[in-house]
Structure 1
Amino acid sequence: MRVLALDTATEIGAIALVEDDLLLAQIQLRVEKTHSQHLWRTIRFLLAETGWGLEQIDLWAVSTGPGSFTGVRIGLATVKGLAWASQKPVIGVSTLDVLAWSVTPTPYLICPILDARHQEVFFAFYRCTPEGSVRMIREPGHESPLALVQQIREPAVFLGNGVWRYPEIFRDRSGLRALIPEFWSHPLSGVTLAAIAQQRFRRGEGRSAGKVSPLYLRPAD
């Protein structure tokens, strides 16, 4: 199965081309304004380098948020348009899910954290299962960083751009409860997004482009 996975929900976007369990190409790019300036050019570059045509893609994967409202809209609009043109299914995956899967396996609570602006963060809680999967144990929400830290009473893995946005809270005030991976673990991985999408597609979750919706968690700014 050939998958194009695209994430533009945060300032570091990712595009990956994956065939079954093999990564063929991936680009991660930090943008200062919006991903729309580089997105289509980057997609065309990756397709040209791998020799793929749009008609050869079997599945489209896209991050649905939460994150930047503009970034989420850009990613969804791009994938929906391409999927509609190619008449291929789309899998939407929460940005929090992608982050949680990127640090497995771990015995600790997993808490992906994304900057929500206005002194808040988006988050959810996850645990690894004995079968090697990841299970959400608290639905996505938004809180102040300090209010979130005060709810955690056990060692937890914190990752995502919200950790770096509020280091004085997640690094300094959480004490021994904070397990923070190296910086390269915090941007979303297009490969992980593609892997989750393939798994869900095999369970019969593929959708038409028009049925994939954003996960905003609160009204747009």
Structure 2
Amino acid sequence: MAIILSIDTSTKSGSVALVQNQQVIGSQQYNIDKSHSSLLHVMIDQLMTNTGISLKEVDAIAISEGPGSYTGLRIGTSAAKGLCYSLDIPLVAVNTLEGMAYQVHKYAPQVDMYAPMIDARRMEVYTALFNAKFECVSETEPMIINETSFAKELEGNKILFFGDGAAKCQASIQHPNALFIGDVHPCAVDMGILGERKYDQSLFENVVSFEPFYLKEFRLATAKK
């Protein structure tokens, strides 16, 4: 059975995990405001040591492809590509919002739709919609939130909103069918489980040409004098 090493650096929270046969062998996570570049490889080394598994036993790398932090996604992708090259193993990519939806879908109360949200600054979020069967019904997109957001969908559906972008939407989206839960972050565990499914279907990325799913172009601000 394949062993998948999964990496998530799509937001401020970073994590790594080892998954086999849809079960978690081990995982590590941090939620501190520090660069992923200084912690990621250390966490991978610690994970391999703690689980007693060597990198040579890993069959594939699963990466959170985005959307999310431009810098974080680049750091995670660079690490994943380096491991794939050195170990000569395939790369699989999982949409960050899909991983978040899977995480909540496993334990949340029954609702009609799940709306993971990643903060994209100001009143903008990255979001998508998944139904109760964990099927994507609205593709990933950037959205500026106001009082009319999701009005049509909320008319006949209870929608659960979560993620670091959902908190700032709660004051705007006040429909009685809108439900909110906190403390949900992208996690390598869920990326690994979904990544293993893609591995079993041989849905591999081209390691040379793969780029993260930024969704928006990176903008470099000019420093004010």
> Equivalent residue for 1:191?
189
Q: Deviations over 1:18-65 (max 9, x none)?
A: 222321211120131321111111110111111222111001101011
CA distance in 1, matches of 2:168, 2:36: 20
> Equivalent residue for 2:178?
178
Residue 215 of structure 2 corresponds to residue 217 of structure 1: yes
8 Å Cα contact 1:101/1:192 also seen in 2: yes
CA positional deviation for 1:149: 4.3
- Report the secondary structure of 1:193's partner residue: helix
CA positional deviation for 1:150: 4.0
CA distance in 2, matches of 1:135, 1:97: 9
CA distance in 1, matches of 2:111, 2:123: 30
CA positional deviation for 1:192: 1.2
8 Å Cα contact 1:92/1:212 also seen in 2: no
CA positional deviation for 1:103: 2.1
- Report the secondary structure of 1:33's partner residue: coil
- Report the secondary structure of 1:195's partner residue: helix
> Equivalent residue for 2:130?
126
Residue of 163, 167, 177 corresponding to 1:164 = 167
TM-score when normalising by structure 1: 0.88
Aligned residues: 212
The one-letter code sitting in structure 2 at the alignment partner of 1:19 is: Q
- Give the unaligned 5+ runs of structure 2: 220-225
8 Å Cα contact 2:92/2:199 also seen in 1: yes
The one-letter code sitting in structure 2 at the alignment partner of 1:103 is: V
- Report the secondary structure of 1:114's partner residue: strand
> Equivalent residue for 2:69?
68
- Report the secondary structure of 2:193's partner residue: helix
CA distance in 1, matches of 2:210, 2:98: 16
- Report the secondary structure of 1:62's partner residue: strand
> Equivalent residue for 1:201?
199
CA distance in 2, matches of 1:220, 1:182: 28
How has the CA–CA distance of structure 1 residues 83 and 165 changed in structure 2, closer, same or farther, with 3 Å as cutoff? farther
CA distance in 2, matches of 1:107, 1:119: 25
- Give the unaligned 5+ runs of structure 1: none
CA positional deviation for 1:180: 2.2
> Equivalent residue for 2:95?
94
> Equivalent residue for 2:222?
none
Give 4+ residue runs of structure 1 displaced > 6 Å after superposition: none
8 Å Cα contact 2:68/2:214 also seen in 1: yes
8 Å Cα contact 1:149/1:174 also seen in 2: no
How has the CA–CA distance of structure 1 residues 101 and 19 changed in structure 2, closer, same or farther, with 3 Å as cutoff? same
CA positional deviation for 1:166: 4.2
Q: Deviations over 1:65-93 (max 9, x none)?
A: 11111111111111011111101011111
Percent of residue pairs bearing the same amino acid type: 26
- Report the secondary structure of 2:105's partner residue: coil
RMSD of the TM alignment (CA)? 1.8
Residue 47 of structure 2 corresponds to residue 18 of structure 1: no
Q: Deviations over 1:92-141 (max 9, x none)?
A: 11101101111226441111110011431001111133xxxx21111111
> Equivalent residue for 1:50?
51
Query: Which stretch shows the higher mean deviation, 200-209 or 57-66?
Result: 200-209
The one-letter code sitting in structure 1 at the alignment partner of 2:141 is: G
State the structure with more CA Rg. 2
Judging by fraction of residues, say which structure has more helix: 1
CA positional deviation for 1:207: 2.9
